[in-house]
Structure formats: structure tokens, C-alpha cells
Amino acid sequence: MAAMKFVLIGHGSISRSYLDAFSKVPGAEIAGVVGRNAEKAAAFAAEHGIAVSGTELADVARRAEAEAVVICTPNAVHYENVMEASRLGLHCLCEKPLHISPEKQMEMIASCRANGVKLGVSYMRRFISHMGYIKELVDSGALGRITVVDVTIKHWREAAYYNSWHGTYEHDGGGPFIQQGSHIIDLALWMCGGYREVLEAKRFKAIHEIETEDHGYAVIHYANGAVGMIEASTASKGMTKEILEISGTKGSIAANYHEIVTWEVPGLEKPELAGDSPNPVLFERLAADFVRAVREDKPPFIDGESAKTATELITAIYAKAGDPLVLY
């Protein structure tokens, strides 16, 4: 079978992760790149040995003989990329979040369905082996009825990080809830089968002079009945903390992206799972899964329907919280 050819839409830093990932997937090839500036797109293509570049997707996809696209643009631009690609009959693998608007997400999903193309979303943390194992335990009832699910993501970003589209409502959609936090929020929703309601939420501008929050809290009632807090921050200097804590009537598990850190599960020993969470590994699994989905005509592991819930929840958090409280 001929290689499945992809066009990169966007060639910022995240695109290099996809270049590396697809280079390791048999039967896949990045054959084109689209950018807003022809010279910059051509320079990127030359640097990475990509045959075709340009500013118009239809032209680049035709010349590259592409079947699919990888969307690596800012959050708000995902809509126009998916809508155009799907109308051209190109399968779409989209960076997370799918979009910053729940309504536009539904249009994107509907367009891909109507045009018979796959829509995958890069919540690749679901490919971490111990996260998959925890999901199986939750679903099996090994922890009993799930009662509490807490999420913490605390990071620091220098002011220079926000001298871009980050931290804007128009392009980023918000602050750390939708940017840094959406991966682990997606994991919590995956574990819990979605959510029912945002019970309380507060946002703050703690340090950074930006449009959106750089710190915030929310209390969530999940679909499985559990309640829990989400803390999301880029105002925590010196910290890199990302953890998901799940408690049920029979036991508890806490895990970060790298390992299980708390294990209280009756009748089961803590598994010895190899550390397989580095981003290159996860991007490769994401890429391989998407190629399989297209070739076998099956849904991607993280499809549009599954991925849209994170944006829906984060949008509800923002609505409940209102404007950020300025602390400086």
C-alpha cells in the first residue's frame, strides 16, 4: 500500500513533534506544509526535506497527493483549518483543544462526518500506559463508586510566553485552564465519563498582565457522581506539578504523567509499568493510531466527539467564574 501522505497546516514549534512522530510510523509521510507566508513555509520545507509548500491548502494537498492534514495552528484557527480540509476530503488530525468554542466544535465534527473524513484530536496523554490501566480499573469497579476526582496543574510561565497569542481570548480561548490544563482535564473527563455541572469557579490574574487568568480553581460534579477540584496555574514560580487523584469507596489512586504515585487498591499490587510518557512516544502512538483509523475505517482513539467535552467543561468553568480577579 502506498504511503499515506499528510500536509502540515502551520509550522510552529509543535509541528516538529509531528514531523518526528510520522517519520517513525510505517506507511506515513509528511509530504507538504502550508503557512501564511510562502517564503517561511518554503524555508521550513527545505529544512525538513518536505517536497511541497505553499499558502493554499487545496494547491499544496493536490501537489503533495495528500489524504490528510495535521493542524498545528493556534487554538482559534483550528475551525477554519478543519472546515476547509474536510470539505476538500482530507482527514484531519488536530492539535488540542479541538477549538475554543463548543458551537464551532460541533460544526467541525459535523463537517468531517458529512464529508466522510476522520477527525482526531491530540489529547495524546490518553496513550500513557498507566493512565489506560487506571481507566480500566475505574471502569471495572476496582475502586468502588468513584467519589472524589481532583486535578492539579501548576506551572510557571515567564512574561515573554504571553508576548504572543497565548493568554488572549481571541486566539488562545483563555489561560491555563484551556491551554496547559486541557490535557489533564481531558483525562479526568475520560475517567469519569464526562461531567454534569460546574458547581463553583474562580479565576485570577495573580502575576501576569494578560487578558485571561493565570491562576484559577473550579469545583466539578462529574458524570459518574464524583466531585472534585481543578486547580490550573501558570503563576506558580518554580513548580511543575501535574497530578490526577481518584478516590472511590474501595480505594484511591494518584498519578502524574510519569508514574503512579499513590496506590491503595484492595487485592491488587501496584503494577510495574515502564515509563512511557515522554512526548515523542505519545506523539508516535497518536500518529500511528490515526493512520490505522483511516486505513481500517475506524474512529481514532481520541475523536472529535470524545475530545469536545474538555472545551465544553472549560467554557462552563469560565462562564461560572466570570472575569478574573486582579491580585496585583
**Amino acid 301: pLDDT:** 98
Same domain? 64 vs 175: no
**Amino acid 277: pLDDT:** 87
**Amino acid 83: pLDDT:** 98
**Amino acid 273: pLDDT:** 83
**Amino acid 55: pLDDT:** 98
Same domain? 11 vs 92: yes
**Amino acid 240: pLDDT:** 94
CATH classification at residue 202: 3.30.360.10
Residue 151 burial (CB count, 10 A): 22
Which residues have C-beta within 8 Å of that of residue 171, sequence separation ≥ 6? 74, 75, 76, 77, 165
Same domain? 114 vs 232: no
Same domain? 175 vs 319: yes
**Amino acid 272: pLDDT:** 87
Amino acid symbol at 321: A
What average pLDDT does the chain have? 97
Same domain? 240 vs 293: no
287-321 pLDDT, tens digit per residue, is 999 999 999 999 999 999 999 999 999 999 999 99
Counting as low any pLDDT under 70, the low residues of the chain are none
Same domain? 139 vs 210: yes
96-147 pLDDT, tens digit per residue, is 999 999 999 999 999 999 999 999 999 999 999 999 999 999 999 999 999 9
Same domain? 185 vs 284: no
Same domain? 103 vs 138: no
**Amino acid 123: pLDDT:** 98
Return contacts of 161-164, CB within 8 angstroms, 24+ apart.
Answer: 161/234, 162/208, 162/210
Same domain? 39 vs 117: yes
**Amino acid 304: pLDDT:** 98
Enter the pTM of the model. 0.95
Same domain? 118 vs 130: no
- Pair 95, 108: CB distance under 8 Å: no
Same domain? 141 vs 54: no
CATH classification at residue 46: 3.40.50.720
**Amino acid 275: pLDDT:** 77
Residue tagged 502575576 (cell numbers): 207
**Amino acid 74: pLDDT:** 93
Per the structure, the complete domain to which residue 11 belongs is given by: 4-124+280-303
